[in-house]
Chains A and B, each alone.
Chain A
Amino acid sequence: MSTSAGAAEHAHEHAQHPEHSHEGGHDAGHHEGHDHGSFWSTYVFSVDHKMIAKQYMFTGMLMGLIGGFFSYVFRMQLAYPGFHVPGFGVVSPGEYNALITNHGTIMIFWLAMPVLIAAFGNYLIPLMLGCDDMVFPRINRLSYQIFLISALVLIASWFVPGGGFGGAWTAYPPLSAKSQYNLTPLGSTMWVLAVGLEFVAFLLGGINFVTTAMNSRAPGMKMFDIPMVVWMIVIASILFMGSVGPLVAGAVMLVFDQTIGTGFFDPVRGGDPILWQHLFWFFGHPEVYVVLLPAVGIVAEIITVFSRKKLFAYKTVLYTALGTGVLSFFVWAHHQFVAGIDPRMANVFTATTVLISIPIAEMMFVYVATLYGGSIRLATPMLWALAFIGEFIIGGVTGIFLGSSGSDIYFHDTYFVLAHFHYTFVPIAVIAVFAGVTYWYPKMFGRMLNETLGKIHFWGTVIPFNGIFIPLFITGMGGDHRRIYNYNNFPDLARPDLQHMRQFATVSLLVLLAFQIPFFINFFLSMKKGRLAGNNPWQANTLEWQTVSPPPHGNFAELPNCYRGPYEYSAPDRESDYWPQNEPS
């Protein structure tokens, strides 16, 4: 199934764009002669979207490992207070705060965002749209470089005097704004700077994604021929662009409060700490959908391929995603029900929050309907995709209790909240990421992953994941407050039954972390030893599978034309059960 379409595209493109003719020489060996660069130009300063995607992916995975290590350390402290944690030592209260803060920050900003949006977006958008690169390759490279600097600034912030920032990833003032409260004069400012740089990186990347998707689709690819994951990443990028602005302004204000002593968030001097919460959550809640939508996009690609069926109601999923995007700007204050916001506004935000569960539920129903009657192949990517649906539903259903302002007053800041959002974020940032990695690995590296190791890794991740967070739902309902360093100091919460559940959660986490070893063995061994994948091992329709694996610089020998939608599986009157988008009918 090698490349097959788009003869004479170059001449075609040129004829249509005379205003660019002064550039000259698009044809002159564009697809050849790029792979001979030095180590630096190939791996470090590459402008190739596939290399930048891998850079994002590996940086994100590395940061994810650090974030996972942090969770191991503080879970050990919670289960066995005062214990000498192997690999870390005894956890002090300040270190505990820094660990949970940076765990949350890393997992959202340096794992979910770079892998789900930047890595998959960079890798898939040009390939799936049938073009040779992003529209702005150098801005793409700049985006990664800024992202890398932001990660280094964050890492450096843990080693400055005073230690890393410990005011939680939401960084509420006055704790975050005044060093006499947070005791991390340097760490807190570096934390804000790192997050700010990360925003800049994703703004640059997002503009690239959106522009590429709008302008550079293969000839013949209409709006509804775009694969769902591309739509989802584009919608996510737009949501990010629309929501992050106030927080960028807020970050500037917070840094000034921290460093030169302004009073933006200090009520005694005419400021308002609630303002930060609004600035933060106006971004923070759309951010949930920024990472959720690419995840459901990945799942859409996988379940169609592995059930050999057309996506049930493509347009419904698309409109639902757009509706979710719009609604996500109207729900943010449900994070602030106990923060002192006006109860009348809390009513409004309760209504919008409960409303937004409708489109998400609809998406899940569409996926189940896609599975119905399909010839399902339970390969590893499909297992991950199915697990995403199952686990995310638990996260969604428990959210209803928190979105209702009445019950949230009881649940707020307990482990119930924590378990709820881990049931949304782990399916997004872990399960969907593994679904995507295992699905596109053959394209990225040209070889297949080992199925047995893949399944060991799958069950060894999903079962302990539930083992961690189901007990935490129960301790949360029992009144476990989130931000407590040592429960022995609170007689009501130091009960053995609750402590046993905390220990069960911690042991489950250890099991989960141990089962990541097979994944990394599989990941790195298969690069060298895996079975050769060929162009299209999953027999999928989308354009990235219609070129060689891994694709060369320039992606396609001849840029493809597009003739149909991405999900034409099991079409009647055809001997093969798939129908590549670039195959002329």
Chain B
Amino acid sequence: MRPIATTRSATGIPTGRLAVWWVIASEIVIFGGLLGSYIMHRIGHPEFGGYAAHTNTVAGAFNTFVLLTSSLSAVLAHKAAEAKDGPKAFKFLWLTFLGGLVFLTVKSFEWHHEISEGFTITRNAFWSFYYCAAGLHACHIIGGMIIMAIISFDVKQNKELQRVELIGLYWHFVDVVWIFLFPLLYIAK
């Protein structure tokens, strides 16, 4: 049972959405600290350009495509939830989930290939940042997928439809992080 406090909305923003904005705000500084540190090293160490040449741009671009598409299905799920169409939102949520799964699969093949070529996380600072940043991002993908799977069954029965928007916001944020990770790790060589 929810407290009355949860149903109040002095700001005009529903409580759940307001909280998700604060989650995103605190995530911005987590990724910001890591990527800021990476950029300092990337600019300060010209040899990183040579290391970055070994990353697979095609895989990165494909994954960007996958995440952008999953963002589309997340926003379509939100639209369906707005229209009180739980089963349709359910379908789009699982489509988004599928996008996450494809992303992780591509990522694991990519990493497998790189590790087998000797580009492990301990090889040098570039690869440390590479695995650390992409890994932290992948953890967020996994977390988002788990939450999406859990909430989807209530949503299917037209319950707690507001959650579709909340997980969507988070998913779009993870997408935006990748939008910056992609040029940082794959394009700037």
Contact = CB atoms under 8 A, between A and B. Distances in A.
Interface of A: 9-10, 13-14, 16-17, 19-20, 22-23, 25-26, 30, 126, 131-137, 203, 206-208, 210-212, 214-217, 241-250, 252-253, 256, 260-264, 269-272, 275, 279, 282, 554, 559
* Of listed B26, B48, B124, residue having the most chain A CB within 10 A: B26
B180 interface: no
Contact of B10 (A133, A217, A242): A217
30 contacts: A13-B8, A16-B9, A19-B14, A26-B2, A30-B1, A30-B4, A134-B5, A135-B15, A135-B19, A203-B26, A207-B22, A211-B19, A215-B9, A215-B10, A215-B11, A215-B13, A215-B18, A242-B25, A245-B26, A246-B32, A246-B33, A246-B36, A253-B132, A262-B125, A263-B122, A263-B125, A264-B129, A271-B41, A271-B128, A279-B37
B33 A17 contact: no
B33 A13 contact: no
Contacts of B116: none
B29 interface: yes
Interface string B5-48: 11111110111001100110111111111101100110001011
Given A132-B5, A136-B19, A216 B30 contact: no
A273 to B, nearest CB: 12
Interface residues of B, number: 46
A242 B2 CA distance: 29
Given A250-B33, A262-B128, A212 B122 contact: no
Given A132-B5, A211-B15, A256 B132 contact: yes
The prevalent SS among residues of A at the interface is helix
Given A210-B22, A272-B41, A275-B40, A131 B33 contact: no
B3 A261 contact: no
A216 B28 contact: no
A275 B40 CA distance: 10
Contacts of A243: 29
B55 interface: no
A260 B122 contact: yes
B54 interface: no
The prevalent SS among residues of B at the interface is helix
4 closest Cβ pairs, A-B complex? A246-B33, A245-B29, A270-B125, A133-B3
B111 to A, nearest CB: 15
* Of listed B2, B3, B31, B128, residue having the most chain A CB within 10 A: B3
A264 B128 contact: yes
Contacts of A25: 1
A20 B161 CA distance: 10
Nearest to B18: A211
A419 to B, nearest CB: 32
Nearest to A21: B7
A241 B26 CA distance: 5
B83 interface: no
Nearest to A218: B8
Contacts of B41: 270-272
B136 A249 contact: yes
Contacts of B32: 245-246
B27 A131 contact: no
A20 B15 CA distance: 11
B22 to A, nearest CB: 5
Nearest to B162: A19
Contacts of A559: 4
Given A30-B1, A135-B15, A136-B19, A13 B30 contact: no
Interface string B122-154: 101110110010001000000000000000000
Contacts of B10: 214-217
B51 to A, nearest CB: 9
A207 B37 contact: no
A288 B64 CA distance: 40
Nearest to A134: B5
B124 A269 contact: yes
Nearest to B51: A270
A512 B15 CA distance: 45
A13 B18 contact: no
A133 to B, nearest CB: 4
B22 A135 contact: no
Contacts of B187: none
Contacts of A217: 8, 10
B125 A131 contact: no
A554 B15 CA distance: 19
A8 B152 CA distance: 36
A207 B8 contact: no
Given A215-B8, A217-B8, A245 B19 contact: no
A13 B7 contact: yes
Contacts of B29: 241-246
A137 B6 CA distance: 9
A248 B3 contact: no
Contact of A216 (B5, B23, B132, B159): B5
B179 interface: no
B25 A214 contact: no
B22 A249 contact: no
A270 B124 contact: yes
B3 A252 contact: no
Interface string B165-182: 000000000000000000
B121 interface: yes
B103 to A, nearest CB: 21
Contacts of B1: 25-26, 30
A552 to B, nearest CB: 13
A269 B129 CA distance: 12
Contact of A249 (B5, B23, B31): B31
Contacts of B136: 249, 252
A210 B132 CA distance: 30
B172 to A, nearest CB: 18
A19 B28 CA distance: 30
Contact of A241 (B6, B22, B31): B22
Given A133-B3, A246-B30, A262-B132, 15 more contacts: A9-B4, A16-B9, A131-B5, A132-B4, A136-B19, A211-B18, A211-B19, A215-B13, A216-B5, A242-B26, A246-B29, A246-B36, A253-B37, A256-B121, A262-B121
Nearest to B2: A23
Nearest to A270: B125
B11 to A, nearest CB: 5
